[in-house]
Amino acid sequence: MVSLPVTDATAEGSQRRAKDRVDGELSRWRGALIVAGWAALASVALTFVQVWIYVQWPSPETVKGFYSLFADNPLLGLASLDLLYIVNNLLVLLVYLGLFLVLRRRFPSTVTIGLLLGTVGMAAYMASNTAFEMLSLANAYAAADAAGQVALLGAGEAMLAVFEGTAFDIYYILSGITLFLFAGAVFDSERFSRATGVWGLIAAAFMMIPSTAGTIGMVFALGSLVPWVVFAALAGRHLLRLVR
């Protein structure tokens, strides 16, 4: 049997057919990718809103302060206990789903592990957030007598301990690992710019220390905001371009 030489035209034709197959698969997920792209951009906008709220109305430092805030403005009280962060995390999970759909053929193990860890991390965060429990305690505190208020202050301390406890730290670390995995895949993918991956890797590096770890934790948390916003904006733009 005589082997025919592989010409440049043949190679280009094979690459084109492979690309067409991949594009055909992505077209089946067009709706999910559009949602993921807009979720990324919405996450960027929501991050700015969260920062603005925290600058304008810093969170109270005591349980009694939270109870007073809930009495004056329940919505602001919920926002001070990361109500918007719950929404933001759901948006981020949609972004990771979109990245998974785009990257799963070339990096199946990496993005599958990333999506799994990200989902577990989000679930841990949902379990750690006690915003509505604090709202309920604040309402009870306002109607309680002196002895009841003392007990409710203790209950509030327990809720805040859960809010910044083990589940939150697990969420934070898993989120950093998840971002490392996805950003690394994005960096090596021809469907995204290298800059997108670099910004994601920088944000992930800052997320390796939980925000609950004292001053250094807060510094790292604030340091992760800018690279995350850039990564999300670039990733969202690329996801939307893929389905045009």
Q: What's the whole-number average pLDDT of the chain? A: 89
Instruction: Write down the pTM of the prediction.
Output: 0.85
Q: Residue 87 domain-assigned?
A: yes
Residue 10 inside a domain? The answer is no
Please state, in angstroms and as integers, the Cα–Cα distance from residue 156 to each residue in 76, 87, 89, 126, 171, following that order: 17, 23, 24, 18, 22
- Domain region containing 177: 28-242
Mean of pLDDT values over 53-59:
90
The 8-class DSSP code of residue 222 comes to H
Question: How high is the pLDDT of residue 27?
Answer: 79
Is pLDDT at 173 greater than 90 in this prediction? yes
Q: What is the pLDDT of residues 9-48, one digit of tens each?
A: 454 544 444 454 446 677 789 999 999 999 999 999 999 9
In a domain, 16, yes or no: no
Q: How many CB atoms neighbour CB 4 within 10 A?
A: 7
- Residue 137, pLDDT score: 96
The answer to the question of residue 120 being in a domain is yes
Structural domain contains residue 22: no
Number of domains in the chain: 1
Give 22 or 238, the one with higher predicted confidence.
238
